[in-house]
Amino acid sequence: TSVPRVRLNDGHEIPQLGFGVFLVDPPETERIVADALEVGYRHIDTARIYENEEGVGRALAASGIPREELYVTTKLWNSDQGHRSALDAFDASLERLGLDYVDLYLIHWPVPSKDRYVESWKALEQIRESGRARSIGVSNFLAPHLQRLIDETGVVPAVDQIELHPAHQQPETTAFAADNGIAIESWGPLGQGKYPLLEMGEVTDAAAAHGKSPAQVVIRWHLQRGFIVFPKSNRRERMAENFDVFDFELSDAEMQRITGLERAGRVGPDPANFG
Ligand code: NAD
């Protein structure tokens, strides 16, 4: 399978489908990521707060896959925001991953109450200039936070990784991102299993029509919207299922029905006051 690549505003390309490791148990991570790589995933999304960067790094090293074929993202945790602390946290993440560089480094949450995301962003710029992160971006930033970064630093994030699934499509943030050349990554693409997305008629009808599973239909919806997506599963058969989404296409009518499920129904924290 060849996964489409999305060109970012800095010229680098990212595989549009990857594998996320939030809530993947640290002791099991090496085995689970090894399975994902065997299934065919080449893009892994982790974070310092997931406490499984070491396991990710061990699986990557053991796979023997050339570094340039892999795409690795990690993230700066909230308590490490600040200029010096961000530089130190990045070094520690790179060390745990056992890598010379990451493909993408993100500020995990804006944490507006601490007001350190602009100085953290300047540290990320420095990291990118050093070559140890190919691209830099943010996560859970709303339009006003993105605007402030751009106004105060002139550096536009390559991506914004936000909670995004049919019940919570964040139209304001995605419109701002589109206007400013920022790629959107959907986290919780299946709604984290916290609402019955995979049982909704809008999804199951399309699944039946194409002979695919509801999860495959939802992943396809993200891909056809142009979002970058990395569903998580500990189970190899589901990893394979979630990767097997390039042999069918949802019609405009099917896309519209699923898009009609928007109800501002977030399953995660509110970025305006989290952290
Ligand atoms: P997800 O929407 O990918 O849901 C994962 C859950 O869906 C699994 O635990 C499983 O129960 C179920 N599932 C997976 N495949 C399935 C299938 N084929 N059929 C039925 N059920 C299936 O949620 P997520 O893991 O939170 O999000 C994906 C990734 O996004 C994470 O692993 C992480 O890398 C990233 N993420 C980032 C943030 C952030 O703040 N930046 C927050 C949460 C997640």
Tens place of pLDDT per residue across the chain (275 aa):
689 999 999 999 999 999 999 999 999 999 999 999 999 999 999 999 999 999 999 999 999 999 999 999 999 999 999 999 999 999 999 999 999 999 999 999 999 999 999 999 999 999 999 999 999 999 999 999 999 999 999 999 999 999 999 999 999 999 999 999 999 999 999 999 999 999 999 999 999 999 999 999 999 999 999 999 999 999 999 999 999 999 999 999 999 999 999 998 999 999 999 99
Q: Which residues pair with 148 in a beta bridge?
A: none
- How many helices, marked H, and strands, marked E, lie in the chain? 10, 10
Q: What is the pLDDT of residue 1?
A: 64
Query: CA 226, 230, 234 angle in degrees (round to 5)?
Result: 155
Distance CA 86, CA 222 (A): 31
Distance CA 103, CA 126 (A): 15
Cα of 193 vs centre of ligand 1, distance in Å, is 8
50 given a catalytic annotation: yes
Q: What ipTM score was computed for the predicted complex, to two decimals?
A: 0.99
Cα of 17 vs centre of ligand 1, distance in Å, is 13
Distance CA 123, CA 76 (A): 11
Distance CA 249, CA 203 (A): 13
Q: What is the pLDDT of residue 264?
A: 86
Q: Name which residue sits closest to atom 8 of ligand 1, judged by CA.
A: 233
Q: Which residues pair with 186 in a beta bridge?
A: 162, 229
Local structure of 70: helix, strand or coil:
coil
Amino acid at 79: S
234's tokens: 């500990």
Q: Which atom of ligand 1 is nearest to the CA of 165?
A: 2
- Check whether domain 5-192+223-250 has CATH 3.40.50.300, yes or no: no
Q: Which atom of ligand 1 is nearest to the CA of 193?
A: 7
In the 8-state DSSP scheme, what is residue 244?
Answer: -
Residue for token pair 């986290």 = 187
Distance CA 61, CA 78 (A): 28
Cα of 192 vs centre of ligand 1, distance in Å, is 5
Q: What is the pLDDT of residue 88?
A: 98
Helix%, strand%, coil% for the chain, nearest 5: 45, 15, 35
Amino acid at 243: F
Q: What is the pLDDT of residue 140?
A: 98
Q: What residues flank ligand 1, with Cβ below 6 Å?
A: 20-22, 45, 108, 139-140, 161, 187-193, 198, 215, 230-233, 238, 241-242, 268
Distance CA 151, CA 154 (A): 6
243's tokens: 């990767």
